A and B are shown apart, each in its own frame.
Chain A
Amino acid sequence: MKYIEEFRSKDLAKQIAARIRQTVQPEREYHFMEFCGGHTHAIFRYGVQDLMPDNVHYVHGPGCPVCVLPTSRIDLMIRLVREENVILCTYADLMRVPASERLSLMKVKAEGGDIRMVYSTQDALDIARQNPEREVVFFAIGFETTTPPTAVAIRQAQAEQLKNFTVFCNHVLTPSAISGLLDSTPEPGENPPVLDGFLGPSHVSSVIGSRPYEFVPAQYGKPVVIAGFEPLDVMQSTLMLIRQINEGRCEVENEYTRLVTRDGNRKAQQLVANVLEPRDKFEWRGLGWIDNSALKIRSAYQEYDAEKRFACLQDADNLIAKDNKACECPSVLRGSKKPQDCKLFGNGCSPENPMGSCMVSSEGACAAHWSYGRFRTAYASSSDQPSTVTTEFTSADKATA
């Protein structure tokens, strides 16, 4: 797999790791927020933390669309399926996210709700074409990466005069999330996260470019390195951040130049701007209401806007979700707490039975820690160190498949 496997090379990882160890100043602590769930996933999936010196810390950020979607938006879709008998099309990622009253889309599907998992907005359009007598609603979520395909589908629906297709638009904006995060006030008794810099979004930036982050060093004094999602990209970007800090620089750098330019994908941006416009405000799980942080469908396309078509969605912004009070997802999303600091972590909340959104997506900080990193804290709190009985695992044992 060209352009994938080269960026996962163990040998290069060792080289970058050695360079990081040479570069870090031992008296400093480096705290970097990896903004995206894609980075979080790569760090855990490949064990990147093991290759880092002890004074380089990753703080997991809010860049996981499933994690930041407020529960109320899922509650609304459940209401729509139950009351209006629509066909709801959703990316599979949302199926298991906890809604109020211990529900989820998966459970509502099991009780007979017509919820279809789709892999692309094109699949949702197909379902609308095949079911002209039914209302078909696409549950649109995601950051700027996932937004252009929604815009394309709305335009297509209009071109075809597809009358039974609407979109429930929950697309959110990354730069607003960063400012929302940096502006957020900690809860009483909670420390603000220590952040020395950001690993900036990769695929979001393919669409929007690196320019939209330039306010972060300018206004908040935090360096940003746009970082790809492969583990070597994460490591190299970490090195670039360390160098900025050591050298007293504070700027936006781009490690992911193979897919990100300063201006991004103009065609995709124009399509989005044509169909969608900023909302005055939008609620983020963990970050609260942030001005101009999400998109809605322009009035020229209002026929395709589920919020306009269905009366039960019109009070969308006032619905209060019943989240579990003990769930620390909000603090985890702000970078103020670690997953294992939550009382529910592994204690009622696990990927089989997620109580908060961060335990659902494999990009969520809690699920990633549970699935890939839990052994570290587990051993730290017990004396049950594993002992590998056999010694060296020779390369002769390894298959070459």
Chain B
Amino acid sequence: MNSVQKRFSSSLNIRTGHIDMSHGSGGRASAQLIEEIFLKHLDNDLLRQGNDNASFSVEKGRMVMSTDSHVISPLFFPGGDIGSLAVHGTVNDLAMSGARPLYLSAGFILEEGFPLADLDRIVASMGAAAREAGIAVITGDTKVVEKGKGDGVFINTAGVGVIEGDLRISGDQARPGDKILISGTIGDHGVAIMASRENLGFETTIESDSAALHTLIAAMTKAVPDIHCLRDPTRGGLATTLNELAQQSGVGMKIYEEAIPVRPAVKAACELLGLDPLYVANEGKLVCICPAESAEQLLSVMRSHGYGKDAAIIGEVTEDALHFVQMETTFGGQRVVDWLAGEQLPRIC
């Protein structure tokens, strides 16, 4: 901290200060913001070099790259915040290929007037999430927009990873007869977000499931290298992800409602709001499609990992030229599980 005090006449007022236009000017104020918030929480050798880029040696294997922009209201929610979400989202997008995530970039668009205390909290949470995931944020950028032209903070993260070995995990690999697995309870993130929005007026102890899933995936691919598909059912929920995979692979799917894990509180919130948990977002779950003979082994690997303890086999891939996802309901009837139409809005009728 001594060196910091030498460079800037006084340290940032993190407790009560706000972002102003000078923090995006590229001048001394920007440098101070980087030093006293971003470097403080995200520190690593590559970031500390202070270049507009970060160079690193390319590892052996196939490289994977992904990017994800994060806009969320509210910024802080039970089980996470936009900072941890920005790390988990991109780590998961990389990991769904079977890759080991290596590095992230982070781009911040801040709105003039945004409290420095909130920014500090968000970046601290990003740092903690990155450390937990064993991945470094090695380059970043900050822009400030005038008040009214943003929504507090938007964060874009991009990431690179490497696929070691001969994994061929892709959304077009599902084959009739394959089993479909989910890594845990669905709808937790979406319900936690809705509960923390004031206007819906309900309270629950449900927390977002936001988590980085690459260690779970590493355990899974180690046990069963010929996993066919992996995808995280984020926006649009499980239903939309299954439809995407069915379309991409040119197959149908049959799932069993009774087998899909849903927390009672998520069920209850969905009853109150007229929503279907199948369409509610997740941020720490994955759908896995694998050959039937590997399903049980994979299930036990998943269940022995912290992020897969509620994993379940929920159905199987079928031959269906129309690519329908069908579900046997808890009631014993059959229905289609369609793509999400529009957005999930609370209903009164």
In-complex A–B contact (CB below 8 Å):
yes
Which residue in B264, B319, B333, B345 is a CB contact (below 8 Å) of A386?
B319
Contacts of A120 in B (CB 8 A): 201
- In this complex, how many residues of chain A approach chain B with their Cβ under 8 Å: the count is 59
Question: Interface with B: A22-30, A240-248, A257-265, A393-401, which one?
Answer: A393-401
- In this complex, how many residues of chain B approach chain A with their Cβ under 8 Å: the count is 55
- The complex places the Cα of A233 from the Cα of B332 at a distance, in Å, of 15
Judge whether A384 and B321 touch: CB under 8 Å. Answer: yes
Contact with B along A361-401 (1 / 0, CB 8 A): 11100010011111100110010101111100100011101
Known: A4-B271, A378-B322. A65 touches B332 (CB 8 A): no
Judge whether A1 and B264 touch: CB under 8 Å. Answer: yes
Known: A379-B322, A389-B318, A401-B261. A8 touches B330 (CB 8 A): yes
Measured CB to CB, the nearest residue on chain B to A95 is B345
Contact with B along A118-139 (1 / 0, CB 8 A): 1110010000000000000000
List the 8 shortest-distance A-B pairs measured between CB atoms, nearest first: A47-B333, A401-B261, A351-B341, A399-B312, A92-B345, A386-B320, A384-B321, A389-B177
Asked if B347 lies at the interface with its beta carbon under 8 angstroms from chain A, I say: yes
A contact set with B: CB distance below 8 Å: 1, 4, 8, 10, 13-14, 37-38, 44-51, 64-66, 91-93, 95-96, 117-120, 123, 142, 146, 231, 350-352, 361-363, 367, 370-375, 378-379, 382, 384, 386-390, 393, 397-399, 401
Contacts of B342 in A (CB 8 A): 96, 351-352
- The complex places the Cα of A353 from the Cα of B333 at a distance, in Å, of 28
Contacts of A95 in B (CB 8 A): 345
Give chain A nearest CB distance to B11 CB in angstroms.
Answer: 38
Which residue in B199, B259, B268, B271 is a CB contact (below 8 Å) of A399?
B259
- The complex places the Cα of A386 from the Cα of B318 at a distance, in Å, of 7
Measured CB to CB, the nearest residue on chain A to B345 is A92
Contact with A along B278-320 (1 / 0, CB 8 A): 0000000000000010000000000000000011111111111
Contacts of A146 in B (CB 8 A): 348-349
- The complex places the Cα of A66 from the Cα of B264 at a distance, in Å, of 30
Judge whether A119 and B199 touch: CB under 8 Å. Answer: yes
Known: A370-B338, A386-B326. A231 touches B346 (CB 8 A): no
Which residue in A4, A10, A93, A401 is a CB contact (below 8 Å) of B347?
A93
Asked if B336 lies at the interface with its beta carbon under 8 angstroms from chain A, I say: yes
Contacts of A362 in B (CB 8 A): 274, 347
**Within B329-344, which residues are at the interface with A (CB < 8 Å)?**
329-336, 338, 341-342
Judge whether B348 and A398 touch: CB under 8 Å. Answer: no
Measured CB to CB, the nearest residue on chain B to A368 is B335
Measured CB to CB, the nearest residue on chain B to A42 is B331
Other A-B contacts than A119-B273, A387-B318, 19 sampled, CB-CB below 8 A, are A8-B331, A38-B349, A47-B329, A47-B334, A50-B332, A93-B347, A93-B348, A95-B345, A96-B342, A119-B199, A119-B201, A119-B348, A146-B348, A367-B341, A371-B336, A371-B338, A397-B313, A398-B312, A399-B261
